Amino acid sequence: MGAANFYHLTRNPLEVTLPQLLGRAMQAGWRVAVRGRDPARMDWLDRQLWMGASDGFLPHGLAGGAHDAAQPVLLTTGAEAANDPACLMTVDGAEVGADEVQRLERVCVIFDGNDPTAVQIARAQWKALTDAGCAAQYWSEESGRWEMKAERSA
């Protein structure tokens, strides 16, 4: 049984934080699905990841390609990911279910703390997942480094 980690972005934008989290997941040996809500936004995120840090390469693909199943990181708007991920990262309020948290090694809910709607969605997701018995941690970067601010056990 996995856990849900909530990442409250207040200092760095998604395009800075996501590659860091993806790098950690890949170091753990996990394939990752990044689920968003809007295909245009996922296209934008795909371009951002390709233009990322010059000190490293982040192998990834946008869902709908011929090699989806082989992608270490697959960007998608769908509920299913062809790359058989061990980790799911959701952005922009994409939905996540308790069954996914329980089935996967890790689920990361990444949300923009400067967007009141995103904060409201993340709070509702926290409540739904913890009420369903999922373990969860809430991480904030407001102090300048990531700190765990809350934790619920399964």
- How high is the pLDDT of residue 144? 87
DSSP 144: S
The two three-digit tokens of residue 103, written as one number = 């089935």
> How far apart, in whole angstroms, are the C-alpha atoms of residue 24 and residue 26?
5
Neighbours of 61 (CB within 10 A): 20
CB-based contact 93:104 (threshold 8 Å)? no
- How high is the pLDDT of residue 142? 86
pLDDT at 111 over 70: yes
DSSP 31: -
What is 3-152's CATH superfamily?
Answer: DNA polymerase III subunit chi (3.40.50.10110)
Q: Where are the domains of the chain?
A: 3-152
Q: If you average pLDDT over residues 105-113, what whole number do you get?
A: 97
Q: If you average pLDDT over residues 112-140, what whole number do you get?
A: 97
Q: If you average pLDDT over residues 94-112, what whole number do you get?
A: 97
More confident residue, 27 or 144: 27
- How high is the pLDDT of residue 51? 83
> How far apart, in whole angstroms, are the C-alpha atoms of residue 104 and residue 86?
5
Q: What is the pLDDT of residues 24-38, one digit of tens each?
A: 999 999 999 999 999
CB-based contact 107:4 (threshold 8 Å)? yes
pLDDT at 123 over 90: yes
- How high is the pLDDT of residue 137? 98
- How high is the pLDDT of residue 57? 75
Give the DSSP H or E segment for 74: strand 73-76
- How high is the pLDDT of residue 117? 97
- How high is the pLDDT of residue 11? 94
Q: What is the pLDDT of residues 50-78, one digit of tens each?
A: 887 555 678 999 999 899 999 999 999 99
- How high is the pLDDT of residue 148? 96
Whose CA is closest to 140, among 2, 16, 11, 19? Answer: 11
Computed over every residue of the chain, the mean pLDDT equals: 94
